[in-house]
Amino acid sequence: MREVTEMAERELTVDELETHQERRMVAREGVVERRQHTRYAVDAWAEVMVKDGTMLFRGRVLDLSVGGCYIETEARLRLAPGTPVEIVFRLNDKVFRYDATIRMIRTKGAGFLFALLDVRTKTELDGLIAELREADL
């Protein structure tokens, strides 16, 4: 866990950020949108730990909503949808930790659905989403 807070982070260039956004758009082409919550583009390094301890991988959170997130990774993910994980990432100088389940696996990443959140964690996530919404306006 300590590695997330100490991970060497760097700012993405405008070109890199546009490339991330283009990849997300390509992934969505031809897909019927079933999400209940607005997703916000973010750029944060994350660590994802499978709850049974069999795997730990790193990636970049590309988007976030109150329901979940998408993490791009180079790791070869051979995990079934529904697999419980813990996600830890840093954004806006704060560290966030969420229990989630894998919703879907793609070639270069995975979508995660946040598990039932306690009141404190839900309030924390709602505050983060409010910050992202404000920045998006």
Helix, strand, coil share (%) of the chain residues, nearest 5: 30, 40, 35
Percent of the chain past pLDDT 90, that is, above it, reads 67
Buried b (16+ CB within 10 A) or exposed e, 11-37: eeeeeeeeebeeebeebeeeeeeeeee
**Per-residue model confidence (pLDDT) at position 2:** 43
Residue 89 predicted with pLDDT over 50: yes
Which CATH number covers residue 9? 2.40.10.220
Give pLDDT tens digits for 22-71.
Answer: 555 544 454 445 557 799 999 999 999 999 999 999 999 999 999 999 99
Higher pLDDT: 94 or 27? It is 94
Look at the chain and report how many structural domains it folds into.
1
**pLDDT on residue 100:** 97
pLDDT of the residue at 16? 61
Look up residue 13 and give its two tokens. Answer: 């260039």
What residues make up the domain containing 67?
2-136
For residue 117, pLDDT over 80 is answered with yes
